[in-house]
Each structure stands twice: as structure tokens, then as C-alpha cells.
């Protein structure tokens, strides 16, 4: 939503909006001249608008359906569109490159946007996170024919897009409150894959059961059968290196600006797309080396020999598995403590066993109460029940201030702050406390 807000502001529209709670992002938007309020005004929303008759209203399905402002606008006949509809309209006049997947789409789309931006091709981009290279989730380049779009599966939003080409990173089940079951979730991805232009390409992780009318290539780490594969992942002198094999060349000692097994796999997808679009080996190498990552995706806040604080948006068991395995690879001798805030009651219920299994692989777990977002509580679903199911010996349940107090004297090891809710609000205070 904030990328759209910035886009319309760049076109000299007056932009205003609602959010549930203030954040660093909303502070930035306000400083950029966008008017934001944090109270549900209901029908009084019209008093905030100079000329309601000339106003376009855009909403995200992440807003609760009974939200006062949304309900009023919906019943008053004003032009109202989903975020995905507007994004589809904006990007339809360019060659859209979608990046879809249950996991990794924000990092992959940001990485791809950076590769194209620093090449001769250039691109515009609508991203789902703040890319560190751009310090924004929006990139506007009117001279490039390409637009990188993070294609979100929530509420089937990605079916509003008409991608020229696409990457699909994963199809692990999620959002079962929307889709009902895993088979319907996969149907959604299959429909999206069919939207890719026959003149384009579908880059998919090896093993994904989706087909397209376009050319298709696969990628995977340590695979002899994938079209694009990465081998020999290792750290050397503080650099994260690996070998990349493509159908055309083998690139030795490719340096990745951000570490992690999952990030190396994301990079392979970008290499495949970049090679299809005609980037040179030099442009690909330089782009991967200089990519600085995305806020809240494997983001370091303290990085010393004794103490590491890493913040990550992981909110699905598969994402937590990738995060913890990458941390174990990088810091095999250090104790790993995970501070996890579950996101949504329905997701906690639907993937309870997965969360139990992956969180129990940590040395210590600090659980926070479930972040409800758009949902009301579900009976029998809570962080207390999840805590009791964990098999790790060291575990506790804390609220925001309790986490800071619990970790106040921590001076060594790895601390992971994990989740998609408002856990990010404790990350900077925690880092300042332990600096």
C-alpha cells in the first residue's frame, strides 16, 4: 500500500491514508507529504478529504471487513478498488515481471529490481518491503520497459496481474483462511502461472507443480537436474560465496551481498531471469555483490564476534526453517535464541505442528502473544498452547516490554527476532539496550 501511496504522490496526487499503528514507515510517508491517520473515522472520513467526489479509494484486503471507513465507502458509491486491481492497471502498460511465492518473494523481487536497476536495462518496481539499496519499496524509471512486481497470493491478488515473465519461489500452503485447503492454494498458483505471456518465461524452483504457456526453467541449490543451480556455498573473509551453473556458463566465486542458503536460492532465480533478459555476466555478478537486502529480511542490527542480533519477517514454518538453518551454517558454535511473534490465529492453528517442530530446533524460544492483524481470537489457539508444545528446554512467554527485560543482560550468542506483526517495534530498543 505504501508503494502505491508513493507512486501517486510522485504523480503529484494528494494522498492520504489510514493505518492501525504508527511505524517507521508511516513516519517516512508523513515526511514525504502523505497525510496519515490512525483512528477509524467511519463516515467522518469525508471530512478529511477536500473533494470526495474526485477521490479514488484503494484498500488492502488485510483491513478487517468491518472497518468503519471501509464499510462507509463501500456503501456510499465512491470508486473503491483493491490494491491488486490498481497495481495491475498501473503495470499493464509495461513488461511486468512478477515475483510470486509463499516465501522469498520480497527479497527476490528486490534483488531482481537491483540487478536490473544497475544494468543497462533499468526497471520500475513495486516491492513488498523497503529495499536497502533504494531505501524505498518503490522504484520509478519511465525510460525502462520493465516493471518488477511483487505478486502477492493473499486474497488471490496476483490474479489481477498480466505478467510478461515471472518467478515462482515456492507454493507451500498458506492463507488457508482464504483458500480453504492446500489443493485450492495450489490451484491459485497454477492460474497465476498461466497468466505469464507466451513470449516471456516462467522461472520456478525445481519441484514446483505449476505449468505455464511460456518457456519454463528451474533452479535449485545443489541440484544436478535443475537448469540453474548453485554449489559450494561458504563464507570466506566475511564474504558469502558460491558457484552458479547456468545452461550457458559456470560462474565461480559469485559473491552475494547478503548471506544465507535461502538467499543464495533466491539469487539463482534472479540469475535465470537476468540471463533471459540479456544481462551480462559482469552485470549479474556486480548486482548480486552489491545487493544490500531488505529491511526485516535477515537484517543485522548487531554483528560482533560475541553477539548477533538478526531481524527477520519469517511467519511460516518453512521460512523459520530456512532462517534457522542459515544461521546455524554461519554461526555453528553460538547459542541461538529466537523471539517469535505468531501472526494470525488461523495461521497458528493451521500450521501448529510445523511451528512446534521448527521452533523446537532453536536453543531457546521467547514467544510473544499472537498478533491478530485482521482476525478475531479463535478459541483454543494461543501462544500459551504453542509454548507448551515446544520441546526445547529453555522457553518462556513475554509481551513487548517483557522481551526487553528478559534479554537485558544477554551479552553473547545469536538473537533472532522473528515475525510479521509489530515485533519490529522492539528490535531497535533491544539493539540499543545491548549495544
| Mean pLDDT of the region 363-376 | 94
Tell me the C-alpha distance between 147 and 29, whole Å: 22
Class of the domain covering 2-78: alpha beta
- Report how far apart, in Å, the C-alpha atoms of 77 and of each of 47, 70, 198, 396 are: 17, 12, 39, 50
Query: pLDDT tens, 34-73?
Result: 999 999 999 999 988 888 888 999 999 888 889 999 999 9
| Mean pLDDT of the region 357-363 | 98
Could you say which DSSP state residue 270 is in?
A: H
Tell me the C-alpha distance between 258 and 20, whole Å: 31
Could you say which DSSP state residue 370 is in?
A: P
Class of the domain covering 86-290: alpha beta
Which residues 6+ apart lie within 8 Å of 356 measured at CB? Answer: 386, 389, 390, 391
Query: pLDDT tens, 123-137?
Result: 999 998 999 999 999
- Report how far apart, in Å, the C-alpha atoms of 106 and of each of 160, 277, 298, 314 are: 18, 20, 12, 11
Cell numbers representing residue 248 in the block: 550457458
- Report how far apart, in Å, the C-alpha atoms of 342 and of each of 40, 101, 353 are: 25, 20, 13
pTM summary value: 0.81
CB 291 within 8 A of CB 258: yes
105: nearest Cα among 156, 151, 159: 151
59 beta partners:
82
Tell me the C-alpha distance between 175 and 395, whole Å: 27
Q: Where are the domains of the chain?
A: 2-78, 86-290, 299-434
**Whether CATH 3.40.50.1980 fits 299-434:** no
Tell me the C-alpha distance between 195 and 399, whole Å: 44
| Mean pLDDT of the region 169-195 | 85
Give 152's pLDDT tier (boundaries 50, 70, 90). confident
Amino acid at each position: 500500500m505504501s508503494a502505491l501511496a508513493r507512486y501517486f504522490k510522485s504523480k503529484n496526487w494528494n494522498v492520504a491514508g489510514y493505518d492501525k499503528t504508527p511505524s517507521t514507515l508511516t513516519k517516512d510517508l508523513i515526511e514525504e507529504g502523505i497525510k496519515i491517520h490512525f483512528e477509524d473515522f467511519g463516515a467522518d472520513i469525508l471530512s478529511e478529504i477536500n473533494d470526495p467526489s474526485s477521490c479514488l479509494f484503494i484498500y488492502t484486503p488485510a483491513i478487517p471487513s468491518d472497518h468503519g471507513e471501509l464499510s462507509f465507502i463501500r456503501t456510499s458509491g465512491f470508486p473503491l478498488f483493491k490494491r491488486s486491481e490498481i497495481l495491475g492497471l498501473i503495470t499493464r502498460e509495461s513488461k511486468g515481471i512478477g515475483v510470486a511465492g509463499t516465501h522469498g518473494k520480497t527479497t527476490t523481487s528486490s534483488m531482481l529490481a537491483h540487478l536490473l536497476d544497475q544494468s543497462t536495462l533499468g526497471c520500475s518496481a513495486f516491492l513488498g518491503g523497503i529495499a536497502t539499496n533504494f531505501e524505498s519499496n518503490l522504484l520509478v524509471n519511465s525510460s525502462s520497459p520493465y516493471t518488477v512486481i511483487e505478486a502477492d497470493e493473499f486474497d488471490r491478488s496476483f490474479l489481477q496481474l498480466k505478467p510478461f515473465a515471472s518467478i515462482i519461489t515456492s507454493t507451500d500452503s498458506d492463507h488457508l483462511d482464504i483458500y480453504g485447503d492446500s489443493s485450492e492454494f495450489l490451484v491459485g498458483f497454477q492460474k497465476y502461472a498461466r497468466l505469464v505471456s507466451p513470449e516471456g518465461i516462467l522461472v520456478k524452483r525445481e519441484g514446483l507443480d505449476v505449468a505455464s504457456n511460456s518457456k519454463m526453467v528451474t533452479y535449485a541449490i545443489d541440484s544436478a537436474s535443475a537448469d540453474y543451480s548453485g554449489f559450494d556455498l561458504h563464507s570466506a573473509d566475511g564474504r558469502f560465496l558460491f558457484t552458479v551453473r547456468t545452461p550457458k556458463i559456470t560462474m565461480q566465486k559469485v559473491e552475494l551481498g547478503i548471506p544465507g542458503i535461502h538467499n543464495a536460492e533466491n539469487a539463482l532465480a534472479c540469475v535465470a531471469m537476468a540471463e533471459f533478459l540479456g544481462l551480462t555476466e559482469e552485470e549479474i555478478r556486480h548486482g548480486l555483490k552489491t545487493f544490500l537486502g531488505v529491511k526485516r529480511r535477515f537484517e543485522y542490527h548487531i554483528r560482533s564476534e560475541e553477539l548477533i542480533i538478526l531481524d527477520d519477517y519469517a511467519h511460516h514454518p518453512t521460512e523459520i526453517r530456512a532462517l534457522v538453518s542459515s544461521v546455524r551454517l554461519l554461526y555453528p558454535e553460538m547459542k541461538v535464541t529466537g523471539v517469535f511473534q505468531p501472526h494470525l490465529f488461523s495461521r497458528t492453528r493451521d500450521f501448529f505442528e510445523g511451528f512446534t517442530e521448527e521452533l523446537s530446533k532453536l536453543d531457546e524460544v521467547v514467544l510473544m502473544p499472537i498478533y491478530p492483524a485482521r482476525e478475531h481470537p479463535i478459541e483454543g489457539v494461543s501462544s500459551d498452547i504453542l509454548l507448551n508444545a515446544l520441546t526445547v528446554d529453555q522457553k518462556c512467554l513475554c509481551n513487548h516490554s517483557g522481551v526487553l527485560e528478559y534479554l537485558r543482560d544477554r551479552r553473547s550468542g545469536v538473537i533472532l527476532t522473528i515475525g510479521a506483526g509489530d515485533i519490529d517495534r522492539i528490535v531497535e530498543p533491544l539493539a540499543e539496550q545491548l549495544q
